[in-house]
Structure 1
């Protein structure tokens, strides 16, 4: 997880798009649309074209959505 200082811990795993869409239960196309619009979780495109999302980035994004909905 990311500490208050903004550093990622050694246990902050990299998730695949498949991991993320399974967890948030949306189609792959929705994830990529969110990414294109800049409203999805922070992600990194690797040199081979694969996309990865840190666990802490996904958790933060979900937490922010919940706070906005409250």
Structure 2
């Protein structure tokens, strides 16, 4: 997934994603040789599960 894909799914701004990434709170990312970031769908889904409130 691209950063834009993740931001669209979460309905957040790119700046929010990069803020979370700087704070170590974003899903795990892969940096491609061209410098672009990608997020594996499985990593994104696991990250979402970890964010759930549990009673």
Shift of 1:36: 1.0
Q: Which has more radius of gyration?
A: 1
Within a 5 Å distance, the mapping from 1:1-70 to structure 2 comes to: 15-66=1-52, 69-70=53-54
How many residues were matched structurally? 54
Query: Following the alignment from structure 1 to structure 2, what is the Cα–Cα distance between the partners of residues 48 and 36?
Result: 20
**Bigger proportion of residues as strand:** 1
Runs of 4+ that moved beyond 2 A: none
Describe the SS at the equivalent of 2:39. strand
Provide the TM-score with structure 1 as the length reference. 0.73
Q: Which runs of 5+ in 2 are unaligned?
A: none
Provide the TM-score with structure 2 as the length reference. 0.92
Q: Which runs of 5+ in 1 are unaligned?
A: 1-14
Shift of 1:47: 1.6
